């Protein structure tokens, strides 16, 4: 059995425990060093896993050696490996930024950060819906504590809403799982896909209810339209490295939607095929538009970036509705791009806010930042990338999204919404940039300078945009390979449940 | 038995939803607790209700599905921890924000005053 599959879950967990032990815990630099080294190791492990899956195809790990569909399994296919690499890459940036001093403003930053990584990795790797719930809770309870890291009124207020909403979401998740277990008799994703195909007609409506309840839950995590009101307040009040890591949390919702609604309710699901695609399509586009409006209306820069997260989630969820290989490949590429750039923007917003003194990140005239060339240059680069102007990764990502819709009846709506919203994002960003860097009052410059670790973290995340441009060819191929593997449900079932006797 | 069980779940859920929609944090915590009780009972029923069912093979004539029982145990533990966290957070919010409203400030009383003036 391939033990590499569980290492992305075990490594952060053991690191978190190690950091809390006395020899490490009592020295800030030892805590930071252990956390940073472990996160870099996590990135290496994830990349190794990705290459292994590329070479050998998808693999799974049966915990306790219970043969599926019994017991819990971890499934590593290309999609989950790509998401693991994305998480680790983002985490390296966030943990380096946090180690510059942000981590000392509250206690237990590094252990909580590692526990959250464990939850995120687990959610990407699991092949069992109940286990997905458990890992959701692991990452959520770490995120509750991280959200109020460093304290303050805004954080407490945002945290109350966030925790209550997510607890309600968990209750609905459990109801959905109980309905699905009661009607399908299994919670293993591959086994569910098998059982849905030949479902007795009496149970169809129950499974449909369960599936739609899952849509509510994942919609809440991904923040799509009627359930997105928590996101701007939460993300903009969290401290910078935490907000950067949170950039991947909405994408977990998108990933879960992709997993459930292509594997279980995909085209082989008989009468339930394509469940909820219409809902995802309409609400995805609506979220996209609302996010773009939010970008225009934001009064501070962090809110603006939080709305950019909504823009990316909206376009991704609308793409999930297509349920074809080109759309799924575009989703994979665009997810990686948007997560890393939004994470970088959260870090950059913090750097800018520190140097602007009292005005912080509010979009008003204030004193000059002390490093206008560095911060301004990074801002322009990130803004071009996130708005989707050539030549950086945003352009390629948007192009893939647009191309995936060519020839379908949804092309008109997707193109008009996506392009209009890109224009709105561009206007919003140029307004923000000119206010932050050019509308300066005569007051003297601040003394604060960005620390090397902080600058490195922003560079690290933004370098992804350049790498994704330079290696666009192999990366799109990887995206297509992942999407093909995701869409090939029969192969998945044959790998995980060889005894089921499914043939091509 | 099924009817009684269903009525119990429905009653707990409706109480939970009602309390969750209240404005102060304490009723909201109570509401979430009730909702999680209802959810736990509901998961339990997904393995079908039967009396005197054993979960170990070879010990009885009728068997109960052991998986929902394991799921319920996990859900109870997680729900308990989350509720504990929420209680602490609510106390912290009361201290930080100066009141126990979920929005961080009591709703504006001015409209009521205006009506009185009329």
- Average pLDDT of span A227-231: 90
Indicate if the pLDDT at residue A38 is higher than 90.
Answer: yes
**Residues of chain B found within 8 Å of residue A151, distances taken between Cβ atoms:** 96
For chain B, say whether A141 makes contact (Cβ under 8 Å).
Answer: yes
Indicate if the pLDDT at residue A86 is higher than 90.
Answer: yes
Identify from A158, A175, A178 which residue to disrupt to test chain B contact, counting B C-beta atoms within 10 A and taking the largest count: A178
Beta bridge partners of A76: A59
Confidence of residue B111 (pLDDT cuts 50, 70, 90): low
Proportion of chain A above pLDDT 70, given as a percent: 98
Token digits of residue A88: 């680790």
Indicate if the pLDDT at residue A349 is higher than 60.
Answer: yes
Higher pLDDT, A442 or A34: A34
- Domain range for B95 is 2-117
For residue A28, what is the enclosing H or E element?
helix A28-56
Radius of gyration of chain A (CA): 22
pLDDT on residue A106:
85
pLDDT on residue A1:
63
- Average pLDDT of span A213-242: 92
**Residues of chain A found within 8 Å of residue B32, distances taken between Cβ atoms:** 164, 167-168, 171
Residue of B nearest to A230 (CA): B103
Contact B85 A144 (CB under 8 A): yes
- What end-to-end distance do the CA atoms of chain A give, in Å? 26
Radius of gyration of chain B (CA): 21
Beta bridge partners of A362: A300
pLDDT on residue A206:
92
Contact B97 A171 (CB under 8 A): no
Q: Judge if the upstream peptide bond of residue A238 is cis by omega within 30 degrees of 0.
A: no
The alpha carbon of residue B63 and the mean position of all alpha carbons in its chain are separated, in whole angstroms, by 29
Pairing of strands A73-76, A59-62: antiparallel
Q: Which of A33-42, A350-359, A452-461 has the lowest mean pLDDT?
A: A350-359
For chain B, say whether A130 makes contact (Cβ under 8 Å).
Answer: yes
Nearest to B96 among A134, A137, A156 (CB): A156
Q: Which residues contact A126 (CB under 8 A, 6 or more apart)?
A: A72, A73, A74, A75, A132, A135
- Average pLDDT of span A176-191: 92
* pLDDT tens sequence across B19-65: 999 989 999 999 999 999 999 999 999 888 888 777 777 777 788 88
Scan residues 179-198 of A and list those with Cβ closer than 8 Å to B. 179, 181-182
Q: Which of A275-279, B59-63, B94-98 has the lowest mean pLDDT?
A: B59-63
In angstroms, the Cα distances linking A174 to A219, A221, B56 are 15, 15, 25
Closest CA to A167 of B20, B26, B52, B18: B20
For chain B, say whether A105 makes contact (Cβ under 8 Å).
Answer: no
Confidence of residue A53 (pLDDT cuts 50, 70, 90): very high
Residue with tokens 């059995």: A1
Closest CA to A465 of A386, A402, A400: A386
Nearest to A178 among B32, B46, B79 (CB): B46
Token digits of residue A466: 């350049």
pLDDT on residue B57:
79
Higher pLDDT, A152 or B117: A152
Tally of domains in chain A: 1
Residue B118, min C-alpha distance to chain A (Å):
35
* pLDDT tens sequence across A412-430: 999 999 999 999 999 999 9
DSSP state of B108: P
For residue A429, what is the enclosing H or E element?
helix A411-437
**Residues of chain A found within 8 Å of residue B28, distances taken between Cβ atoms:** 164
Confidence of residue B109 (pLDDT cuts 50, 70, 90): low
For chain A, say whether B45 makes contact (Cβ under 8 Å).
Answer: yes
Higher pLDDT, B81 or B104: B81
pLDDT on residue B118:
46
Assess contact for A113 and A249: CB atoms under 8 A.
no
The alpha carbon of residue B112 and the mean position of all alpha carbons in its chain are separated, in whole angstroms, by 33
Residue of B nearest to A145 (CA): B85
Q: Which residues contact A129 (CB under 8 A, 6 or more apart)?
A: A177, A180, A187, A188, A189, A192, A260
Tally of domains in chain B: 1
- Average pLDDT of span A312-321: 93
Proportion of chain A above pLDDT 90, given as a percent: 69
Beta bridge partners of A366: A440
Higher pLDDT, A408 or A111: A111
Residue B36, min C-alpha distance to chain A (Å):
6
Residue B17, domain CATH:
1.10.287
CA gap A52, A5 in Å, rounded:
10
CA gap B28, B31 in Å, rounded:
5
C-alpha atoms less than 13 angstroms from C-alpha of B8 in its C-beta half-sphere? 14
Indicate if the pLDDT at residue B115 is higher than 80.
Answer: no
- Average pLDDT of span A90-114: 92
Q: Which residues contact B109 (CB under 8 A, 6 or more apart)?
A: none
Residue B117, min C-alpha distance to chain A (Å):
34
The mean pLDDT of chain A is 91
CA gap A61, A56 in Å, rounded:
14
CA gap A446, A463 in Å, rounded:
28
- Domain range for A46 is 3-500
């Amino acid at each position: 059995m391939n033990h590499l599959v569980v290492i992305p879950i075990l490594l952060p967990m053991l690191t978190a425990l190690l950091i809390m032990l006395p020899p490490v815990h009592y020295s800030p630099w030892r805590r930071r060093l252990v956390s940073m080294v472990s996160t870099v190791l996590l990135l290496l492990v994830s990349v190794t896993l990705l290459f292994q899956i590329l070479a050998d195809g998808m693999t799974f790990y049966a915990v306790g050696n219970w043969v599926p569909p019994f017991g819990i399994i971890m499934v590593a296919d290309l999609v989950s490996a790509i998401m693991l690499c994305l998480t680790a890459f983002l985490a390296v940036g966030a943990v380096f930024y946090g180690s510059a001093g942000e981590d000392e403003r509250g206690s237990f930053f590094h252990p909580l950060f590692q526990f959250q990584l464990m939850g995120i990795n687990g959610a990407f790797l699991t092949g069992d819906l109940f286990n997905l719930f458990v890992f959701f809770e692991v990452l959520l309870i770490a995120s509750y504590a991280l959200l109020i890291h460093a304290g303050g009124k805004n954080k407490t207020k945002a945290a109350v809403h966030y925790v209550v909403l997510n607890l309600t979401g968990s209750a609905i998740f459990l109801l959905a799982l109980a309905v699905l277990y009661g009607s399908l008799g299994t919670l293993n994703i591959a086994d569910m896909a098998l059982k849905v195909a030949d479902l007795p007609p009496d149970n169809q409506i129950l499974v449909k209810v369960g599936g739609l309840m899952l849509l509510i839950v994942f919609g809440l995590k991904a923040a799509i339209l009627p359930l997105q009101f928590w996101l701007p307040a939460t993300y903009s009040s969290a401290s910078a490295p935490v907000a950067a890591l949170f950039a991947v949390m909405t994408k977990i919702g998108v990933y879960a939607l992709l997993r459930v609604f292509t594997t279980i309710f995909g085209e082989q699901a008989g009468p339930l095929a394509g469940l909820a695609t219409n809902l995802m399509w309409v609400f995805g586009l609506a979220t996209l538009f609302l996010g773009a409006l939010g970008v225009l209306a934001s009064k501070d820069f962090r809110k603006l970036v939080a709305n950019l997260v909504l823009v990316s989630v909206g376009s991704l969820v609308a793409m999930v509705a297509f349920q074809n290989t080109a759309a799924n490949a575009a989703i994979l590429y665009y997810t990686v791009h948007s997560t890393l750039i939004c994470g970088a923007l959260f870090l950059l917003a913090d750097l800018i806010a520190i140097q602007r003194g009292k005005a912080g990140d509010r979009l008003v005239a204030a004193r000059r930042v002390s490093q206008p060339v560095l911060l301004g240059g990074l801002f322009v680069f990130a803004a071009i990338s996130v708005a989707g102007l050539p030549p950086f990764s945003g352009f390629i990502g948007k192009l893939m999204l647009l191309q995936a819709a060519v020839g379908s009846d949804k092309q008109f709506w997707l193109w008009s919404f996506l392009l209009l919203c890109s224009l709105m994002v561009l206007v919003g960003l140029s307004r923000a940039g000119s206010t932050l860097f050019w509308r300066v009052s005569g007051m003297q410059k601040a003394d604060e300078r960005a620390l090397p670790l902080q600058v490195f973290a922003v560079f690290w995340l933004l370098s992804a945009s350049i790498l994704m441009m330079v290696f666009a060819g192999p990366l799109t191929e990887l995206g297509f390979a992942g999407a093909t593997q995701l869409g090939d449900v029969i192969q998945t079932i044959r790998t995980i449940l060889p005894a089921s006797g499914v043939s091509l | 038995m099924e009817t009684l069980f269903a009525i119990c779940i429905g009653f707990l859920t409706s109480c939970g939803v009602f309390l969750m929609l209240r404005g102060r944090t304490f009723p909201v915590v109570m509401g979430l607790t009730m909702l999680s009780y209802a959810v736990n009972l509901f998961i339990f029923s997904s393995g079908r209700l039967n009396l005197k069912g054993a979960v170990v093979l070879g010990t009885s004539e009728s068997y109960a599905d052991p998986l929902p029982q394991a799921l319920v145990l996990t859900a109870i533990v997680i729900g308990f921890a989350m509720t504990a966290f929420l209680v602490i957070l609510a106390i912290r919010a009361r201290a930080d924000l100066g009141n126990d409203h979920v929005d961080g400030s009591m709703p504006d009383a001015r409209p009521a005053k205006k009506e009185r003036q009329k």
